[in-house]
Structures are given as C-alpha cells and as structure tokens.
C-alpha cells in the first residue's frame, strides 16, 4: 500500500505551521481534518500529528480563487496544485499508484492489463486472469472505407463511433453499464493496431484471449511477447489528471455517454505533447542513426540548451519510474533502433527519460511500426479514461472552470 508520507514528495508539517499557512487558529485546522479536507498522520516516536502541506495549499488556492485571485487559480492548471479530488491514481516518486497499488509493482508481478483495468474501475484487483467478452461489430465494412495507409489513431475514433451507433443502450447511466462498455470497447481498440485495418487481420486478432495478445496479433508480432506487452499496458493505464483523462472527465461531467468520453480523450491523445510523444522520440533516434552517434547528437543539443525529445518529466524530479522497465525490456529484446535509443538514454546524463522514451524503445525492439506507440498508449490509457469518467459521473457536478479575462476593456 502507499505510504501517505511519500505521495507527491509531500511535506508534512505540524499543526502550528499548518494553521499559520492557512491564516487560521489551530482549532479551525482540526475542523478541516474532521471534514476530510486535510490529511493527517501520526508523528514519529510519539511526536504530535503532522498535516499534508499539499492539502493545506489546495485549500489556500481555493480560498484565493474564490476571493478573485485569478492568477493563482489559473496557475493550478499548469502542473500546479491539484484542482479536484480523485481516488483513482496517486503520483508518487515511485510512479503512479492505482488505488494504492504501485503500477511498476503490478507490472513486475505479471498482473494482466485487464486485471489492472478492473482495479482502476472498482478498487478490487482480481486474483485470476480476467477474460473480457468480445462484441461483434461490422469491422469488415469499416475496413473497406479505410485507405491502406490508415494508422491506429486514425481508425480508433471511427471504431468508437461505429460501436456507439451499434449500442442502443449507450446512454445507460449505471456504473456497471459504463464498465461493461469498457470491457467490450478496449479489445476493439487493440485490434485497431493492425496496419490499414484489414478485415482478416482484425478478425484473427479479436480471436486472441487477452488485450495484449490481440495487440500482438494485430501488429503481426510473436505472442511470446505477451508478458512484456501486458506490463507495458499496465504501466500506461492511468496517470492521474493527464490531458486526455481530464478531457474524458469534462465529457463525463456533461453526462456524455462512455463512447463520447473515449472519443474526446482520443482526440486529445493525438497531440505530440501527450500520447504521440513517442513518435518524436523515434524520429530523433532515426536522425541519430546509430548507437555510436548518440553521444555527439546529445552534446549538440545540450550546447543549444536542449534535451532529446521525451526527457524530463515535471512530476518526476528523479526520473519517471515507468521508463526503466520498458527500457530494460527493449534491452533484452535488442535491435539496432532500440540500441540507438538506449545509447541516447546513456548519453543524456543531465535529464531522465520519460515513459515515452521507454515506449519508443520497446516498439523499436519489437520491430513494430512507430505508429504502434501512440496506439498502444491509447489502448492502455482507455482504462484510465473510463475510470475517470466513472468517478466524475459519480461526483455529479459539471466541470466548468472560469477564465481570467485579459482582453480589451469592456465598455
């Protein structure tokens, strides 16, 4: 389980400091604690209780925002203080923790992706392999509409819309109904990894027994890599309020159906600053060309004050813990492109690789097309999107932030 003192590299302060930070009396602090607005833990060796500084700061930001301090509120949306409560994923120095379970540990233990998704949705980790049902849909007809050059991120939004049109009960608001649609939709997204979405390849892929194996069949790769791909999907399944998950929550807050939430998130994921970041990493590796050219290429970037694409994560000062398992897997599998990426990692001594670098290296090692990187990211993160959509629906309020107007004076 997650040690509260380690979440988000938080500071824990005593009651006097906490009350001073909020500008209140200590007895008022206890009221915030009793309402669950400030976390508190016992002090060590019999010392007084300690209070989470991040919770105190969040309360102060909300108070200032209500008082009209727009700049403070706006800053919260740029890697700033938390803007809403969630029980799904904590960001910690050891990487994301899903419902209290570290993603890197789940991946290392061989937990199947489907089981990790169920954990995100319900808080319960099934002990045995979960098998999701397959939903029939006219993918052959869809395949005829697509050019042979269609990429996974081109196909997935169309698949989602076709699945929505085929589901007359898609507006069912019950939590179980949303989860059921996730179980049927995610395997379809995995099948969309097939280059050009040929009907025969999609049919064969959907006959596999797990999402990881569906993805491997769709990519025409050896199913012996299923454990590695399962681990990859688990590591990517959620990451708190990333851009696409926040988009899914916004859609869910309007009571949009689960297909609409996934479609909105997919659109956000296509950006090169988010789910398509691994493509930028792969392009740089191709420019470098070979492992022995990595050091000089990185030095040239550093002289310009830049780092290679995919290095440095604002939430992980000491490195993204999700990257290492993927880089290790790429190293074991091998291949020139993977070795080039690993050489870039070794040469970049003053910045740490993110999960996007690890994903690009693994895709290269497997011999999959670069477009498989964003596709796998989407398959994995769809579990998180649906978890956030479910939580937001249960919260029951519309997400509608305010803007701080800085335009022409209003007459």
Q: Which of 55, 167, 230, 356 is catalytic?
A: 356
Tracing tokens 């102060």 back to the chain, one arrives at 60
Q: Which of 154, 274, 328, 331 is catalytic?
A: 274
Q: Which of 313, 320, 370, 388 is catalytic?
A: 313
Whether 330 and 364 have beta carbons less than 8 Å apart is answered as yes
Would residue 85 show up in a list of annotated catalytic residues for this protein?
no
Q: How far apart are CA 216 and CA 211, in angstroms?
A: 9
Give the C-alpha distances (Å, rounded to integers) separating 293 from 144, 280, 349, 355, 361: 43, 18, 16, 23, 16
Taken in order 336, 337, 342, 348, is the CA torsion positive or negative? positive
The closest of 207, 202, 200 to 159, measured between CA atoms, is 202
Would residue 313 show up in a list of annotated catalytic residues for this protein?
yes
Q: How far apart are CA 389 and CA 238, in angstroms?
A: 12
**N- to C-terminal Cα separation, the chain:** 57
Q: How far apart are CA 178 and CA 257, in angstroms?
A: 8
Would residue 356 show up in a list of annotated catalytic residues for this protein?
yes
Torsion from C-alpha of 401, 407, 408, 411, nearest 10 degrees = 10
Catalytic residues: 274, 313, 356
């Amino acid at each position: 389980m997650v040690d509260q003192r380690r979440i988000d590299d938080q500071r824990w302060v005593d009651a006097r400091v906490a009350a001073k930070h909020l500008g209140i009396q200590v007895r008022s602090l206890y009221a915030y604690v009793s309402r669950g607005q400030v976390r508190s833990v016992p002090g060590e060796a019999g010392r007084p209780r300690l209070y989470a500084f991040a919770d105190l700061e969040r309360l102060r930001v909300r108070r200032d925002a209500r008082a009209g301090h727009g700049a403070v509120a706006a800053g919260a949306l740029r890697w700033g203080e938390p803007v809403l409560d969630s029980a799904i994923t904590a960001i910690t120095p050891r990487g994301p923790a899903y419902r209290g379970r570290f993603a890197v540990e789940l991946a290392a233990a061989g937990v199947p992706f489907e089981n990790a998704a169920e954990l995100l949705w319900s808080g319960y980790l099934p002990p045995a392999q979960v098998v999701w049902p397959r939903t029939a849909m006219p993918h052959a007809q869809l395949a005829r509409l697509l050019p042979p050059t269609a990429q996974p991120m081109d196909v997935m939004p169309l698949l989602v819309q076709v699945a929505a049109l085929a589901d007359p009960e898609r507006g069912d608001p019950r939590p179980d109904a949303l989860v059921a649609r996730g179980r049927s939709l995610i395997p379809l997204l995995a099948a969309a990894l097939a280059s050009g979405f040929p009907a025969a390849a999609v049919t064969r892929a959907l006959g596999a027994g797990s999402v990881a194996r569906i993805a491997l069949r769709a990519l025409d790769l050896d199913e012996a890599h299923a454990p590695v791909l399962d681990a990859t999907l688990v590591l990517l399944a959620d990451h708190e309020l990333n851009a696409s998950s926040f988009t899914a929550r916004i859609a869910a807050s309007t009571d949009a159906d689960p297909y609409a939430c996934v479609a909105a998130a997919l659109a956000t994921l296509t950006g090169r600053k988010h789910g398509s970041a691994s493509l930028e990493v792969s392009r740089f590796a191709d420019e470098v060309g070979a492992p022995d050219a990595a050091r000089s290429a990185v030095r040239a970037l550093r002289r310009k004050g830049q780092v290679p694409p995919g290095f440095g994560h604002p939430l992980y000062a000491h490195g993204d813990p999700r990257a290492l398992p993927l880089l290790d897997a790429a190293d074991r599998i091998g291949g020139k492109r993977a070795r080039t990426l690993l050489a870039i990692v070794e040469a970049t001594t003053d910045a740490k690789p993110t999960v996007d670098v690890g994903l690009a290296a693994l895709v290269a090692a497997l011999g999959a097309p670069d477009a498989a990187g964003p596709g796998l990211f989407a398959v994995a993160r769809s579990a998180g999107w649906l978890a956030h959509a479910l939580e937001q629906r249960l919260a029951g309020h519309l997400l509608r932030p305010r803007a701080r107007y800085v335009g022409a004076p209003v007459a």
